[in-house]
Amino acid sequence: MTGWREKLRQVVADLERERDELKLKLHLAKADGRDEWARLDGKLAELRLRADAAGTEAREAMDDVGDAARKLADEIREGFKRVRKTL
């Protein structure tokens, strides 16, 4: 059961690293890029909270939590791609 939790935490760490890299370039971005950035940063915070809370959830709910976390991570990745295109 620890394997999926570690994978989820690694996804969060990878996304946070990408966020930090993009943040360095963001000050030159257009206003719409900044709006997208703010939305994605909030979603990443939500994903981090879900990852941290995952260890306390009941085993039956783990699949639902994992699916929701994967969807949220995919949405954040796609948003980062959109922000990257504005840079």
pTM (2 d.p.): 0.59
Instruction: Note the pLDDT tens digit of each residue in 51-65.
Output: 877 666 556 566 677
Dist CA 28 CA 50 (whole Å): 31
Dihedral sign from CA coordinates of 81, 77, 14, 32: positive
Instruction: Note the pLDDT tens digit of each residue in 19-35.
Output: 998 888 777 767 777 78
Residue 16 has pLDDT above 90, yes or no: yes
pLDDT bucket at 12, cuts 50 / 70 / 90: very high
Contact 68, 43 (CB under 8 A): no
Dist CA 43 CA 68 (whole Å): 12
